[in-house]
Amino acid sequence: SDPSSSRRGAFIVFEGLDRCGKSTQVSKLVERLEREGRKARLQKFPDRTTAIGKMIDAYLQSKAEMDDHAIHLLFSANRWECAAAIKKDLESGITVIADRYAFSGIAFSAAKGLPFDFCLQPDTSLPLPDLTLYLTLPQEVASQRSQFGEERYETISMQQATREQFALVAQQVTSRHGESKWTQVDASGTIEQVADRIWGLVGEIADGIEGDIGRLWV
Ligand code: Z5A
Ligand code: MG
């Protein structure tokens, strides 16, 4: 019998500032898991395909204006509308890899000046990631990558403010949920070098997890 059959899939989140290579590495990890014979699914946030996601997309492309609180709640609502599917997949043994999650939600809105606690609340009790990989890259390198600056938030000052908020988010995650839940990853080097670094950090949770799915901030 398969010893992994009683295990649920791991929920792994990629976070980090713009152009640090999250989407690239999320795809690499999904491919690698599948190559190793494991089931994996990619979940991007914001998920721009839903009705809420389309409103978020218009906002990010500056085709629509929105109150800061309202857009914050829409980003969270966009996660809530995906939460049941994430839980269902994890329970059926699929590893779910998210490209951004609630931590981006908090860091970007708090960087705009909304109170940190307000930013935290709407995501309370969403599925808790088993591991968040926070990719770091010097700003000079990130700004030189293609398409930087095309969307709202892609300015150096906004990125710096967001970096500071991400540090506070990391403290919240580790103090509430444990040090093992948040790992910083050096995202410099070639795509393959970063992918190998990440594979080493993912380690045995790629084989599945025995405990229940946790709840964020609970
Ligand atoms: N946002 C929010 O405010 N609230 C929320 O709750 C959430 C998000 C969930 C859109 O996000 C915005 O929404 C984002 C946060 C906010 N705003 N900002 N700023 P998004 O995830 O849709 O953003 P994106 O358009 O996908 O870009 P990105 O995520 O910032 O990029 P990335 O995924 O980190 O990088 P990449 O696409 O993998 O790579 C960027 C380029 O570099 C690309 O040309 C790659 O080929 C290249 N690349 C990647 N890796 C390497 C290496 N190792 N070497 C050289 N070149 C590389
Ligand atoms: Mg991306």
In tens, the pLDDT along 124-154 reads 999 999 999 999 998 888 888 877 888 998 8
Written out in words, the top-level CATH class of the domain with range 8-207 is: alpha beta
Tokens describing residue 117: 């606690």
User: Domain map of the chain by residue range?
Assistant: 8-207
CA of 163 to the centre of ligand 1 (A): 14
Question: Which DSSP category does 120 fall into?
Answer: H
Residues 98, 75, 20: CA angle, nearest 5 degrees: 45
For residue 52, the tally of other CB atoms under 10 A from its CB is 21
Q: What is the dihedral of CA 57, 58, 64, 69, to 10 degrees?
A: -20
- Which ligand has an atom closest to residue 148 CA? 1
pLDDT digit of tens for each residue in the chain (218 aa)? 455 568 999 999 999 999 999 999 999 999 999 999 999 999 999 999 999 999 999 999 999 999 999 999 999 999 999 999 999 999 999 999 999 999 999 999 999 999 999 999 999 999 999 999 999 998 888 888 877 888 998 898 999 999 999 999 999 999 999 999 999 999 999 999 999 999 999 989 999 999 999 999 99
Residues pairing with 134 in the sheet: 15, 184
Q: pTM for this one?
A: 0.96
For the chain, the maximum distance between any two Cα atoms, rounded to a whole number of angstroms, is 56
Residues 102, 152, 26: CA angle, nearest 5 degrees: 45
- Looking at the CA of residue 153, tell me the nearest atom of ligand 1: 19
In this prediction the ipTM stands at 0.97
Selection from 81, 14, 23 nearest residue 54 by Cα: 81
Ligand 1 and 8: CB distance under 6 A: no
For residue 115, the tally of other CB atoms under 10 A from its CB is 10
* C-beta of residue 2 within 8 angstroms of C-beta of residue 172: no
Measured CA to CA, the distance from residue 195 to residue 201 in angstroms comes to 10
Could you read off the pLDDT of 32-52 as tens digits, one per residue?
Answer: 999 999 999 999 999 999 999
- Which ligand has an atom closest to residue 104 CA? 1
